[in-house]
A = this chain, B = another copy of it.
Amino acid sequence: MSGRRISSQPTAANASSAPGSTVRIGVLASVIGFNLRMAQDASFRAFAKHAGLDHLKPGRYAAMTIIRDNPGIAQGEVGRAIGRDKSTVTPLIQDLQRQGFIVREASSTDRRRVTLRLTRAGDAALTSLSRRARDHERKLDAIVGDQKTAFVALLKKIATEIS
């Protein structure tokens, strides 16, 4: 571990950057977009590291939760819920099916639709994954503390209102 530390403390107008000194991230320090990215990245990595994603990758968790909570949901609707194109959802769903976690069934009323529901194995896998997700979320809760409600409200607001 060498090199400079990472800091948002802008040192004075010292011209050139020497090894061992501190990186000035400058205006980036207070930019919401940048910090959003760093936080999401760190959170994602921590989750992936602890969740042992051998046969259940992080994106799957949201999809499976949505399918569990909305049995009979169509693929496209899963995509809209997680903000992904249908062409992104197709392989994801196929993967879950290959692992025996979901069953796909053509809708009887609209044969274009493929309805989804968890199998018992899928439910068990989700339960196990949820346990690890809960550990991760607990860490986040500890970091965010009593501001969680306001914090999550702002994240939601960004997701829906930014354009």
Residues of A within 8 A of B (CB): 3-4, 6, 10, 15-19, 23-28, 30-44, 46-47, 62, 65-66, 68-74, 76-77, 80-81, 83, 107, 110, 113, 115, 133, 136-137, 139-141, 143-144, 147-148, 150-152, 154-163
Chain B residues whose C-beta falls within 8 Å of the C-beta of A74 in the assembled complex: 3, 19
Tell me if A's interface is mostly helix, strand, loop or mixed.
helix
Could you say how many copies of this chain the assembly holds? 2
Question: A129: shortest Cβ distance to chain B, in Å?
Answer: 12
Question: Please, which residue of chain B has its CB at the minimum distance from the CB of A50?
Answer: B163
- A28 touching B152 by the CB < 8 A rule? no
Question: Please, which residue of chain B has its CB at the minimum distance from the CB of A10?
Answer: B69
Question: A40: shortest Cβ distance to chain B, in Å?
Answer: 4
- A39 touching B156 by the CB < 8 A rule? yes
- B156 touching A110 by the CB < 8 A rule? no
Q: Which of B17, B39, B160 contacts A155 (CB 8 A)?
A: B39
- A69 touching B155 by the CB < 8 A rule? no
Q: Which of B31, B140, B150 contacts A158 (CB 8 A)?
A: B140
